[in-house]
A = this chain, B = another copy of it.
Amino acid sequence: MKLTADAKGVFPIAPTPFFDDGAVDRASIDRMMDFYQSCGATGLTVLGQLGEAPKLDFTESLEIASQVIGKAGGMPIVVGVSAPGFASMRSLTRAVMDLGAAGVMIAPPNTLRTDDQIVTYYHQAVDAIGDDVPFVLQDYPLTFSVQMAPSVIRRIVTDLASCVMLKHEDWPGLEKISALRRFEAEGAMRHISILCGNNGLFLDYEMARGADGANTGYCFPDMLCDFVKWMGEGKTEAAHDLFDAHLPLLRYEQQPGVGLAVRKYVMMRRGILSSAAQRRPGGALTPAAKAEVDHLLTRLGKHDPRAKNLV
């Protein structure tokens, strides 16, 4: 089952669980996979930037992808294959597709500047991985320093049939979704799936702009799933109420650099991960930060029972 342009719903970005000594924690991966399925996730992305992919060597990457795919239970699994060179990107892509991945995600290298450079890069990436592999275009200027105008995304989508999804995390980004959907409405671009990242910080308005859901790692993916579902069912204000209750924590987790430490800490308190450890370089939460997250969870617990009675 390969990823298609019809993908919808929530594809969580899975963190990579580690023990305190830095070894991969395979039991936590199993628990995490059960958890994502119980949330109502419609797919899953592994080995992304916040999956600490660059901190894994090739063998570890394959083992994690293999375990996740084995536990997918029907969810399409997207694997991050961004790499400094096309040889590594191809090796990893070929290996994970053989294992049963549904597609791959490719972020642009931070040296790209002009429109042509960006389009050319994706042409070369597709030449490297093969045009039979569906890929997700990651548009995340804050982290990658690459700015893709809507017209550039259109060129990539038009030129490369294997581009089936946009991981949208430009900031600000609402108008970009509108622009892309306008292209489609005008017949100027074929349809692709747009799932939103950026920890979901603007998901409350991105859906109405035309997004198909979320593709991000917020520590309550079950909330993201509810939100997307309720918006689809027309329960707009209830969905906003739920989202707003989570926003203080969600915003705290969205901080660059420390966000992953927050995410892992909450996932540990929720009983999913056995440790909040990151591989180096990676920040641990200070006692003050932990107290802030605990305070945020306590306040959230008044609105969402899933934030109560954590370990």
Binding site for B on A (CB under 8 A): 52-58, 60, 83-88, 91, 110, 113-117, 120-121, 124, 127-128, 147-149, 151-152, 171-172, 174-175, 178, 201-202, 204-205, 209, 240, 244, 247-248, 251-252, 255-258, 279-281, 286, 288-289, 292, 299
Given A116-B151, A171-B255, A288-B209, A56 contacting B84 (CB threshold 8 A): no
Number of copies: 4
**Can you list 27 A-B contacts (CB < 8 A)?**
A54-B84, A55-B87, A57-B88, A84-B84, A85-B279, A86-B279, A87-B279, A113-B113, A114-B148, A114-B149, A116-B151, A117-B149, A124-B281, A171-B256, A172-B255, A172-B258, A174-B289, A175-B258, A175-B286, A175-B289, A178-B286, A178-B288, A205-B252, A240-B299, A244-B244, A244-B299, A247-B247
Q: Across the interface, which residues of B come within 8 angstroms of A128, CB to CB?
A: 280
Decide if A244 touches B240 in the complex (CB within 8 Å): no
Q: CA of A53 to CA of B52 in the docked complex: distance in angstroms? A: 22
Among A120, A201, A240, A248, the most chain B Cβ lie within 10 Å of the Cβ of A248
Given A172-B255, A174-B288, A60 contacting B87 (CB threshold 8 A): yes
Q: Across the interface, which residues of B come within 8 angstroms of A288, CB to CB?
A: 174-175, 178, 209
Q: Across the interface, which residues of B come within 8 angstroms of A280, CB to CB?
A: 86, 124, 127-128
Q: CA of A257 to CA of B289 in the docked complex: distance in angstroms? A: 29
Q: Across the interface, which residues of B come within 8 angstroms of A201, CB to CB?
A: 251
Q: Across the interface, which residues of B come within 8 angstroms of A202, CB to CB?
A: 252
Whose C-beta in chain B lies nearest to the C-beta of A285? B175
